[in-house]
Amino acid sequence: MRENHPSTNSEDDHRSSLLDLARAEITESSNSKSRTCGGFPGPGSGSGPSEPQAPFPDQVLENVLENVLHFLSSRRDRNAASLVCRSWYRAEALTRSELFIGNCYALSPTRVTARFTRVNSVTVKGKPRFADFDLMPPNWGAHFAPWASALAQAYPWLEKLHLKRMIVTDADLALVADSFSGFRELILVCCDGFGTPGLAAVAGKCRLLRVLELVESVVEAEDDEEVDWISCFPESQTNMESLVFDCVECPINFQALESLVARSPRLKKLRLNGFVSMAQLYRLLHRAPQLTHLGTGSFSATEAGAVVDQEPDYAAAFEACKSLVCLSGFREIWADYLPAIYPVCANLTSLNLSYAHVNADQLKSVIRHCHKLQIFWVLDSIRDEGLQAVAATCKDLRELRVFPVDAREGTDGPVSEVGFEAISQGCRKLESILFFCQRMTNAAVVAMSKNCPDLVVFRLCIIGRYRPDPVTQEPMDEGFGAIVMNCKKLTRLAVSGLLTDRAFEYIGRYGKLVRTLSVAFAGDTDTGLKYVLEGCPNLQKLEIRDSPFGDGALRSGLHHYYNMRFLWMSTCKLTRQACQEVAQALPNMVLEVINVNSEENAGDVEILYMYRSLDGPRDDAPRIVTILH
Amino acid sequence: MVFEETELRLGLGLGLPGNEAELGLRKRGFSETQTETTTVDLMLNLSPKESAAADGPDPRDNTNTSPKEKTLLLPDPAKPPAKAQVVGWPPVRSFRKNMFAAQKSSEEESEKSSPNASFVKVSMDGAPYLRKVDLKMYKSYPELSDALGKMFSSFTIGNCESQGFKDFMNESKLMDLLNSSDYVPTYEDRDGDWMLVGDVPWEMFVESCKRLRIMKGKEAIGLAPRAVEKCKNRS
């Protein structure tokens, strides 16, 4: 499970880092003659008023600067520093070691490697979030391959690679494994395109590997290609600190895994996939009682014992793990085994039961021990009753996610405004909530806005589209309005239910810090979107689907689009003509029009995906994507 | 080892041959979007296009509805219950959508009286994880033994593969088998007794079987007296 602390979510830039890079590029090319700006005279030039004439004052300054800049880690600070003057720009470029690319198509890999020469850590993000829900054609893009080859050439000392929503192939992973001898960390989040052969290459060749995390990525067995990658790790002691493979849908060689764990004394994070049984987990816990983060695998038995023979003392095994603070997994949970985790509950700060069908009683038996819990992910099978139990015990809760077991639109569900309000009453420190339900009232949402003023992330998904408040029959405008009004730190918002333009008026007026906004089946007219585009200066990521916003609304954001990571609008009322106009008005924006169902040159636009780019449109777009310029 | 039917592991073994592929995971590479979101009850008369293949949202769908129409949409009794799925809605990732299917199949397994399916867990000594089978899918012991053979193909089940289980009625052959190190299928019946598979008529077996375990012949020897006893009682 991703541990996004809400207030430092790296997804949301405070400022547009790419904009700063762009400005810096322009500054560099226009100042080609002077080496510095400011008041230091160069050797041989006219003297300044009262400066001492040191031999190479510029050089001294640059050395000092480089040394100072080494300590600057925040990329926003670095972006600011790079804008001061050319000298600072160069010094910053020489000293930046961590690279963050929020949109892989915003610039070309060669531009990156030309500017930054001493990078040892790279993060690249690809597809927009709506691609997770099958709204993007599967071959749309975000291929890691061109980045892989550029990075392999430019940074042979690369240590860390973090990719999100990219297509990564086995060949890419093999290239990574071959190219970076000091490679230490590979984190793949929501990626696909690779399988066990790629993992085997990394495990086998990256002898210094410390971190291998596969998070919500699609890794499946493809017939003959399945490889026993766990056996590929070096046979001597490893440096492994974190091994996360809970999303890998392939059986695992348990003996090899056990041996790997046994020879990895620094292992702290281990998240197993559903092919690891309870009995196997038991053995692993004995090998690694020092674990701090554990994904339990299936948490069920594999052998249907004829006699109930001595089942190992699972609770004792858990109890021996004194450092355990984060628990997840439970992929095929046998509820009878739940008591095994009681001994560690008191220390847990993070618990993810979102794959486990536990009912209210089962949950209560666990949650009543979890006084320190800060992060809790769960299925709505626990019902309002379960939520009330959470509210009663978890006074320190910061992040709650409640996922639906049955994601179909219905009238009643197991959780509702009752549990929601209980949470708001009991968990006053709440900062982040994601809540799926079939019904919600404005009153409950207003209550949360008042009880939980620290909310930074508020994502409410009423599964039934266009649902009004079931008690008052009113739209949900007032509830969401209260959230933006009262939660002054709010940066991420997702809305649902029946919403009129008024809801957007509230967002535009009060949501001044909102950076990410997610809208679906909402609003009445263009005015709604206008409120938001005109009112929210920090908006970075705007994703809208199935809402009646059209060309007029699109035009109202022209002043702001270049500051954003992206704009997504699908099944709205945009015309191709208007998109063309925007493309012409904003030459540095790339407008991708994707029409899956209709003709290539249809007047209507099914999907508009728009983002800024320093290097123009990409050249790997599939036929289904039309790039306007 | 190569285990092919990984779909069963995810609880998708609904017993219908076609469904396994449909409900399967997204393949890597560039294959078409899976249809998991649009498989059921596509009779919403919002727009016929909504029920088309899961390629993308229909542009003519909601964009023309006026605000007033929207409030009438859901409570309208003329529409069937809103069980149809819209692509990508609600915004849960596909592995979470499969949770419902997984729960369904585990519920079905615990309701033995379900007329449509009779799921039992199958374990094999030495195999790392369980399978589930729907006994109602098979009509005879040879069919079941075939299926088990495929499921645990890396292991030999010995005589069972070729001959089915009927040889257990023959006492001496039974003893031979149990003395070998081949695998022997056993099951737990409603009384909680562990029996050798094959000693009761098929229908009776389906009704009474709660769980299957494929164990080594040597370990099954303990069951032999009971099996032989029940044989004798019947003849």
Both structure tokens of B111 = 């309701």
**8 Å CB contact of A597 and B59:** yes
pLDDT mean over A513-530: 98
Mean per-residue pLDDT, A470-495: 98
Confidence band, pLDDT 50/70/90 cuts, at residue B211: confident
Mean pLDDT of chain B: 58
Q: Where are the beta strands (DSSP E) in A209-357?
A: 211-215, 219-220, 242-244, 248-249, 269-272, 293-296, 326-328, 350-352
Query: Is residue B234 very low, low, confident or very high in pLDDT (cuts 50, 70, 90)?
Result: low
A104-108, A154-158, A302-306, B136-140: range with lowest mean pLDDT: A302-306
Closest CB to B63 among A138, A306, A573: A573
- What's residue B107's pLDDT? 55
Query: Reduced to 3 states, what is the DSSP secondary structure of residue A515?
Result: coil
CB–CB contact B73 A466 (8 Å): yes
> Is B86 within 8 Å of A379 when comparing Cβ atoms?
no
What's the Cα-to-Cα distance from B14 to each of A289, B146, B151, B203, rounded to whole Å?
A: 39, 18, 15, 20
Best mutation target among A405, A408, A435 (most B Cβ atoms within 10 Å) is A408
Residue A459 has pLDDT above 80, yes or no: yes
Q: Tell me which chain B residue has its CA closest to the CA of residue A496.
A: B90
Q: Which residues contact A301 (CB under 8 A, 6 or more apart)?
A: A277, A278, A279, A334, A337, B130
Q: End-to-end distance of chain A based on CA atoms, in angstroms?
A: 40
pLDDT of residue B56: 37
Q: What pLDDT, on a 0 to 100 scale, did the predictor assign at position B81?
A: 42
Lowest average pLDDT, out of A174-188, A197-211, A304-318, B104-118, goes to B104-118
| Alpha-carbon gap: B129 to the closest alpha carbon of chain A (Å) | 5
- Which pLDDT score is estimated for B149? 75
Dist. CA B123–CA A439, nearest whole Å: 42
B45 pLDDT above the threshold of 50: no
A586-599 pLDDT per residue, tens: 999 999 999 887 66
Residue B75: how many CB atoms within 10 A of its CB? 10
Per the model's pLDDT, the better-predicted residue between A329 and B145 turns out to be A329
**B27 chain-A contacts, CB cut-off 8 A:** 220, 222
A222 to B27: CB separation less than 8 angstroms, yes or no: yes
For residue B192, give the nearest of A337, A310, A305, A333 by alpha carbon: A305
3-state secondary structure B127-162: CCCCEEEEHHHCCCHHHHHHHHHHHCCCCCCCHHHH
Q: Tell me what pLDDT residue B28 has.
A: 39
A128, A543 Cβ separation under 8 angstroms: yes
Task: Concatenate the DSSP letters of all residues of B51-98 into one string.
Answer: GS-TT---TTSSTT--HHHHHHHTT-TTSPPS----TT-S---HHHHH
Contact yes or no for B38/B51 (Cβ under 8 A): yes
Q: What is the pLDDT of residues A258-268, one digit of tens each?
A: 999 999 999 99
Residue B54's pLDDT is what?
A: 36
- pLDDT tens digits along A333-347: 888 899 999 999 999
A598 Cα to chain B: minimum distance (Å): 8
Nearest to A520 among B82, B89, B125 (CB): B89
- Give the other-Cβ count within 10 Å of A606's Cβ: 23
Does B128 sit within 8 Å of A251, measured CB to CB?
Answer: yes
pLDDT band at B153 (very low <50, low <70, confident <90, very high): low
Q: Which residues of A touch B106 (CB under 8 A)?
A: 357
Of B37, B83, B194, the CB nearest to A134: B37
* pLDDT, position A13: 44
Token pair of A217 as six digits: 């990525």
Rounded alpha-carbon distances, angstroms, from residue A500 to A195, A470, A549, A568 = 45, 16, 12, 20
Give the pLDDT mean for A419-433: 98
The one-letter amino acid at A175: L
Task: List b or e across A125-134, with b for residues whose CB sees 16 or more CB atoms inside 10 angstroms.
Answer: bbbbbbbbbb
Is A408 in Cβ contact with B56 (below 8 Å)?
A: no
Residue of chain A nearest B223, judged by CA positions: A306
How confident is the model over A55-73, as pLDDT tens digits?
456 677 778 888 888 888 8
Stated as kind and residue range, the H or E segment containing A531 is helix A526-535
- Please determine, for residue A274, whether its predicted confidence score (pLDDT) is greater than 80: yes
Q: Is 90 exceeded by the pLDDT of residue A411?
A: no
At CA A612, angle to CA A607 and CA A618, rounded to 5? 75
CA distance A20 to chain B (A): 33
Q: Quick one: which H or E segment has residue B195?
A: strand B194-196
| Least confident segment among A193-207, A566-580, B55-69, B198-212 | B55-69
As a whole number, mean pLDDT of residues B189-208 equals 84
Overall size of chain A counted in residues: 629
Least confident of A298-312, A511-525, B100-114: B100-114
Q: What is the mean pLDDT of residues B30-38?
A: 35
Reported residue count of chain B is 235
CA distance B217 to chain A (A): 14
Query: In chain A, what percentage of residues exceed pLDDT 70?
Result: 88
Rounded Cα distance, A292 and A266, in Å: 11
The yes-or-no verdict on residue A306 having pLDDT over 60 is: no
Contacts of B54 in chain A (CB under 8 A): 134
- Distance of alpha carbon A202 from alpha carbon A7, whole angstroms: 33
Cite the DSSP H helix spans in A346-471.
Answer: 360-367, 383-393, 417-426, 442-451
CB–CB of A521 and B62 under 8 A?
yes
Are B31 and A254 an interchain contact pair (Cβ–Cβ within 8 Å)?
Answer: no
Question: Is A257's pLDDT higher than 60?
Answer: yes
SS3 state of residue A214: strand
The answer to whether A438 and A412 have CB atoms below 8 angstroms apart is: yes
Half-sphere exposure of A308 (CA within 13 A, CB side): 1
CA-CA distance, A281 to A182, in Å (whole number)?
Answer: 31
Q: Per the CB < 8 Å rule, is B32 touching A139?
A: no
Q: In which band, very low, low, confident or very high, does the pLDDT at A241 lie, cut at 50, 70 and 90?
A: very high
Q: If you average pLDDT over residues A77-102, what whole number do you get?
A: 92
Residue B164 to chain A, least CA–CA distance (Å):
22
Residue A464 has pLDDT above 60, yes or no: yes
Contacts of A551 by beta carbon, 8 Å cutoff, 6+ apart: A526, A573, A574, A575, A577, A578
A138–B85 CB contact, under 8 Å = no
The mean per-residue pLDDT over the stretch A87-94 comes to 90
Specify the DSSP element, H or E, that contains A185.
strand A185-189
End-to-end CA separation in angstroms for chain B: 42
Give mean pLDDT, residues B193-212. 85
Q: For residue A462, what is the nearest residue in chain B, using CA coordinates?
A: B90
Task: Compute the average pLDDT of residues A209-231.
Answer: 88
Comparing CB atoms, the residue among A192, A379, A598 nearest residue B59 is A598
Which of A379, A466, A571 has the CB atom closest to B70's CB atom?
A466
**Cα A94 to the center of its chain, rounded Å:** 28
Helix, strand, coil shares of chain A, percent, nearest 5, are: 35, 15, 45
pLDDT tens-digit series, residues B78-92: 433 444 568 899 999
- Give residue A19's identity as a one-letter amino acid code: L
Q: Give the pLDDT score at A179.
A: 97
User: With contacts defined as CB-CB under 8 Å, which chain A residues touch B188?
Assistant: 304, 306
Closest partner residue to B123 among A298, A304, A465, by Cβ? A304
Strands (E) across A561-614 are located at 566-570, 589-594, 607-612
Report the share of chain B in percent with pLDDT over 70.
Answer: 34
Closest-CA distance of chain A to residue B114, Å: 20
pLDDT at A130 over 90: yes
User: Rounded mean pLDDT of A297-324?
Assistant: 78
ipTM for this model: 0.82
Rounded to a whole number, what is the distance in Å from the CA of A341 to chain B's nearest CA? 22
